[in-house]
């Protein structure tokens, strides 16, 4: 199987996935977002960051850099909490790309903060330690583009076959989507 | 102890029976391990001068194809292809390599862009940056390293040594069985 991981490469995840004989494609999606959309000079916590996500030239740069895969390339995608930092037009584009990149029956895991009215949320590097443990390594705080509820998530993933929600202890909504 | 030696180089049968003659007066040939060509022991002079690994210094910019039969350290800019099938490539902290790379083992401390194939292992050290697809038997990624690309773990194939072991039984018979048996086991690993 081919697995896409947006958390950035870590030894534990690489070992976990490859020990099962799977192929892992690793990228730090949030870092790519920052690279392309963070305005220069860098504003405090990305002033202009979301505005830049509406800039067609930057969007096409970003898609070429982060999501240039052939259709049906992956059997699973670990996007973790990265989608909540995408503003609306880009968010839909990225989800549509993910839909194309996944094979029918493939699963996608995404996390969203459940708190409303938050200015910034903690971000983490997620690492799979074993089949029941995910290590969350703190990275920074950043402002999400929007707050998601079950209904908005269902709408976001409407082209997928099914969407399941789980509430975790860490004020995160875990979403498992099947292509 | 023997394992490591073997990982470094495959000087065919001799190492097996080499442990006893540690202090033997064979220093001239001891310089040879850098060479991957057992059939060319006369090259000793040039290899010895190198001292183990060739180095592309940090002020060097090189474009083209590199084929090597010794370990190589790149601390400059290289663009093209790098092939060191039986040897180790180290990309130093100042190294910037835009190339397809094939080597026995690779250690990256700098930047690599391109597909990488190693027979044994790749290490991506802290602060290193690697963009490209990797095929390897083992991978080590330190915290703080950046990697973008796919990782295919290829289980090591065993058939290659078939040609090398031939002389072993002869050496084994001559030198005694226990050590030989142990080292034969090591070789298979």
Q: Which of B153, B154, B155, B156 to mutate to test the interface with A (most CBs of A within 10 A)?
A: B153
* Interchain CB contact of B153 with A (< 8 Å): yes
pLDDT class for A167, splitting at 50, 70, 90?
confident
Q: How far apart are the first and last CA of chain A?
A: 15
Share of chain B above pLDDT 90, in %: 49
Shared domain for B80 and B121, answered yes or no, is yes
More confident residue, A49 or A176: A176
**Nearest chain B Cα distance for residue A26, angstroms:** 5
Question: Does residue B45 share a domain with residue B106?
Answer: no
| B131 touches A at CB < 8 Å | no
Contact with chain B for residue A60, Cβ under 8 A: no
Are B164 and B134 contained in the same domain? no
Residue A157 has pLDDT above 70, yes or no: yes
pLDDT for the residue numbered A116:
72
Euclidean distance between CA atoms A170 and A114, whole angstroms: 9
Same domain, B133 and B58: yes
Distance from CA of B122 to the nearest CA of A (A): 12
Q: Quote the mean pLDDT of chain A.
A: 88
Are B102 and B147 contained in the same domain? yes
What pTM was computed for the model? 0.72
pLDDT the model gives residue B162: 52
User: Cβ separation of B151 and A23 shorter than 8 Å?
Assistant: yes
* Closest-CA residue of chain A to B152: A23
Instruction: Classify A2-178 by CATH class.
Output: alpha beta
Q: Any idea what DSSP says for residue A66?
A: H
Looking at residue B137, its pLDDT comes to 93
Q: What is the pLDDT of residue B99?
A: 95
Q: Tell me: pLDDT of B21 over 70.
A: no
Query: Do B167 and B146 lie in a common domain?
Result: no
Q: Is the pLDDT of residue B117 over 90?
A: yes
Query: A23 and B141 in contact by Cβ < 8 A?
Result: no
* Residues of chain B found within 8 Å of residue A21, distances taken between Cβ atoms: 153
pLDDT surpassing 90 at residue A14: yes
pLDDT at B113 over 90: yes
Assembly ipTM: 0.85
Q: Are residue B58 and residue B87 in the same domain, yes or no?
A: yes
Which residues from chain A sit within 8 angstroms of residue B147, using beta carbons? 8-9, 26
Residue A138: band (very low, low, confident or very high) from pLDDT cuts 50, 70, 90: confident
| Alpha-carbon span A79 to A75, nearest angstrom | 13
Q: How many CB pairs under 8 A join A and B?
A: 41
Residues B136, B95 share a domain: yes
Please name the member of B124, B146, B150 whose beta carbon is closest to the beta carbon of A23: B150
Where along chain A do its domains lie?
2-178
- Highest averaged pLDDT of the listed ranges A7-21, A78-92, A140-154, B102-116: B102-116
Return all residues near A154 (Cβ < 8 A) that are at least 6 apart: A163
Domain match, B21 and B81 both = no
Contact B148 A27 (CB under 8 A): yes
Tens of pLDDT, residues B138-178: 999 999 899 999 999 987 665 555 555 555 554 443 343 33
CB A3 within 8 A of CB A74: yes
Inter-residue contact B163 to B146 (CB < 8 Å):
no
Domain span at residue B174 reads 2-50+158-188
Instruction: Give chain A positions within 8 Å (CB) of B140.
Output: 11
Q: What number of CA atoms fall less than 13 Å from residue B187's CA on the CB side?
A: 22
**What's the domain count of chain B?**
2
- Which of A114-123, B42-51, B105-114: highest mean pLDDT? B105-114
Residue in A18, A21, A31 closest to B151 by CB: A18
Instruction: Give the DSSP H/E element, type plus range, for residue B48.
Output: helix B44-50
């Amino acid at each position: 199987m081919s697995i896409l991981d947006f958390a950035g490469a870590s030894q534990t995840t690489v070992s976990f996935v490859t020990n099962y004989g799977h192929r892992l494609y690793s990228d730090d999606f949030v870092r790519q977002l920052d690279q392309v959309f963070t305005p220069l000079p860098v504003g405090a916590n990305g002033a202009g960051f979301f505005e830049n996500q509406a800039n067609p030239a930057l969007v096409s740069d970003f898609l070429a850099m982060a999501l240039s895969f052939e259709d049906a390339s992956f059997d699973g995608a670990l996007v973790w909490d990265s989608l909540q930092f995408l503003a609306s037009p880009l968010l839909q584009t990225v989800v549509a790309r993910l839909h194309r990149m996944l094979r029918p029956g493939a699963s996608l895991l995404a996390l969203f903060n459940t708190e409303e009215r938050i200015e910034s949320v903690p971000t983490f590097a997620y690492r799979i330690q074993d089949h029941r443990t995910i290590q969350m390594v703190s990275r920074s705080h950043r402002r999400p583009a929007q707050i998601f509820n079950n209904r908005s998530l269902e709408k976001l993933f409407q082209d997928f076959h099914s969407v399941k929600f789980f509430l975790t202890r860490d004020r995160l909504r875990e979403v498992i989507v099947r292509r | 102890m023997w394992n490591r030696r073997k990982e470094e180089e495959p000087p065919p049968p001799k190492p097996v029976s080499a442990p006893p003659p540690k202090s033997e007066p064979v220093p001239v040939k001891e310089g040879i391990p850098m060479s991957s060509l057992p059939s060319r022991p006369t090259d000793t002079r040039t290899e010895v001068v190198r001292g183990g690994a060739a180095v592309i210094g940090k002020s060097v910019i090189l474009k083209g194809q590199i084929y090597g039969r010794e370990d190589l350290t790149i601390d400059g800019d290289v663009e093209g292809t790098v092939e060191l099938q039986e040897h180790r490539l180290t990309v130093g902290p100042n190294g910037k390599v835009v190339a397809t790379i094939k080597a026995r083992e690779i250690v990256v401390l700098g930047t690599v862009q391109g597909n990488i194939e190693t027979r044994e292992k790749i290490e991506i050290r802290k602060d290193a940056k690697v963009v490209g697809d990797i095929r390897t038997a083992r991978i080590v990624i330190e915290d703080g390293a950046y990697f973008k690309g796919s990782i295919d773990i290829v289980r090591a194939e065993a058939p290659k040594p078939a040609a090398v072991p031939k002389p072993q039984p002869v050496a084994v018979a001559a030198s005694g069985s226990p050590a030989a048996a142990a080292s034969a086991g090591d070789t298979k690993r």
